[in-house]
């Protein structure tokens, strides 16, 4: 749920605009989102690493086209019209070895 308060901070996604709109992703961790990034979320999937703060933005059509898992593709197609900014626990930038050992190829929609 988005909240509007009196404190203003830079957008957690573009890091250029100042905004008072935020969501508390986990206790004590606020993600600020400006109007431009909210608009960009209509056409892109946006992931924010909750560990290092790195932002990944990918076009929805490209992501959906590349998924081979039928169930995962179906779930993403349902989200195609929604504005989704999702927090992830870790990313490839902050723990490359951990990420690769954590995920199995079949979990990523890839076939061995």
Domain layout of the chain by residue ranges: 1-40, 43-112
Summarize pLDDT for 39-91 with one digit per residue, the tens. 999 999 999 998 888 999 999 888 888 888 888 888 878 877 888 888 888 88
Q: With 80 as the cut, is the pLDDT of residue 38 above it?
A: yes
Measured torsion, CA atoms of residues 68, 72, 76, 79, in degrees rounded to the nearest 10: 170
Where is pLDDT greater, at 12 or 74? 12
How would you label 54-77 residue by residue, b for 16+ Cβ within 10 Å and e otherwise?
ebebeebeeebeebeeeeebeebe
Determine the 3-state secondary structure of 84 from DSSP: coil
Beta bridge partners of 18: 10
Beta bridge partners of 49: 88
Summarize pLDDT for 23-35 with one digit per residue, the tens. 888 888 889 999 9
CATH number listed for the domain at residues 43-112: 3.30.1490
pLDDT reported for residue 106: 54
């Amino acid at each position: 749920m988005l909240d509007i308060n009196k404190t203003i901070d830079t957008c957690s996604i573009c890091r250029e605009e100042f905004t008072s709109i935020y969501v508390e992703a986990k206790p004590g961790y606020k993600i600020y989102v400006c109007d431009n990034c909210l608009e960009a979320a209509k056409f892109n999937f946006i992931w924010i690493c909750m560990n290092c703060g790195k932002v990944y933005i990918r076009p929805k059509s490209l992501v959906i086209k590349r998924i081979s898992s039928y169930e995962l593709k179906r779930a993403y197609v349902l989200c195609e019209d929604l504005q989704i900014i999702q927090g992830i626990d870790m990313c490839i930038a902050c723990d490359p070895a951990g990420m690769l050992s954590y995920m199995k190829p079949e979990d990523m929609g890839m076939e061995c």
